């Protein structure tokens, strides 16, 4: 699985801590982590939590990523922005229990975490425990197990509801504020990470056209 890490400007200084915890858990399990930044608080390209959501939508809808790990000070803003995008189902995850229940019940494709609120001593251990609950083993099995089928059915209904209420990602890209879009993909490693992994030529071509 291709896992994308996205962190916004207020928490950029914690990128190294989050990235290390994520790779420590995910890569031995056979997953690959792509760090889209921000990398430091001094990065020229600055991401807001709104841009986190837009970037998550681009990565997931294009197939450049299978799962997005993002966050902000409380995790709330990035979660809301991500869930505004078509095809993105983002949970607010604070601890390993949240991660387990989100993975088993909701089986979404993104999480948002608080990287300021409650992020204290041994925070990196909590991160590692969260990622283990998310990425080690099969997700979507239901909890409790006897409710697995109704949970699977409800996930399908939610996806249908989102499809009905959201426009496709290419339309979003064409109609969203273009300066906001350019800023969201302005990270120093975006092109290097995104285009080789993108499976949607229409999305890739449109993003490339923004530089023309």
pLDDT digits (tens, 9 = 90+) for 53-96: 999 999 999 999 999 999 999 999 999 999 999 999 999 999 99
- The set of residues, in sequence order, having a beta carbon less than 8 Å from that of 139 and lying 6+ positions away, is 103, 104, 107
Question: What is the average per-residue pLDDT within 152-158?
Answer: 97
pLDDT band at 50 (very low <50, low <70, confident <90, very high): very high
Question: What is the average per-residue pLDDT within 100-127?
Answer: 97
Residue 212 confidence (pLDDT) above 80: no
Measuring CA to CA, which residue among 199, 176, 145, 197 is closest to residue 51?
Answer: 176
Q: What is the DSSP pairing of strand 67-72 with strand 90-92?
A: unpaired
pLDDT at 112: 98
Give CA–CA dist 33/66, Å, rounded.
Answer: 10
pLDDT at 211: 83
| Most distant CA atoms of the chain, gap in Å | 54
Q: What is the phi/psi pair of residue 59, to 5°? A: -65, -45
In this structure, the number of other CB atoms found within 10 A of the CB of residue 115 comes to 26
Question: H or E segment at 2?
Answer: strand 2-5
Query: What is the three-class DSSP state of 201?
Result: helix
Q: Which residue has 């879009």 as its token pair?
A: 181
- In order of 64, 68, 111, the CA distances from 199 in angstroms are 6, 16, 22
What domains, with CATH codes, occur in the chain?
2-209 (3.40.1400.10)
Give CA–CA dist 117/156, Å, rounded.
Answer: 33
């Amino acid at each position: 699985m291709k896992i994308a890490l996205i962190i916004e400007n207020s928490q950029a200084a914690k990128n190294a801590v989050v990235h290390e915890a994520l790779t420590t858990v995910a890569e031995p399990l056979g997953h690959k982590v792509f760090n889209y930044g921000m990398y430091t608080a001094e990065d020229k390209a600055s991401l807001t939590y709104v841009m986190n959501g837009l970037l998550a939508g681009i990565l997931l809808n294009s197939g450049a990523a299978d799962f997005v790990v993002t966050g902000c000070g409380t995790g709330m803003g990035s979660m809301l922005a991500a869930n505004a995008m078509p095809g993105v189902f983002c949970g607010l995850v604070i601890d390993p229990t949240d991660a387990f229940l989100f993975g088993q019940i909701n089986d979404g494709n993104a999480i948002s975490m608080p990287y300021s609120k409650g992020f204290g001593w041994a925070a990196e251990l909590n991160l590692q425990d969260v990622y283990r609950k998310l990425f080690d083993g099969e997700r979507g099995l239901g909890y409790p197990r006897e409710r697995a089928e109704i949970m699977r059915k409800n996930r399908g209904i939610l996806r249908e509801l989102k499809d009905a209420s959201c426009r496709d990602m290419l339309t979003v890209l064409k109609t969203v504020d273009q300066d906001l879009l350019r800023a969201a993909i302005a990270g120093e490693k975006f092109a290097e990470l995104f285009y080789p992994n993108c499976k949607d030529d229409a999305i890739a071509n449109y993003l490339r056209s923004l530089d023309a």
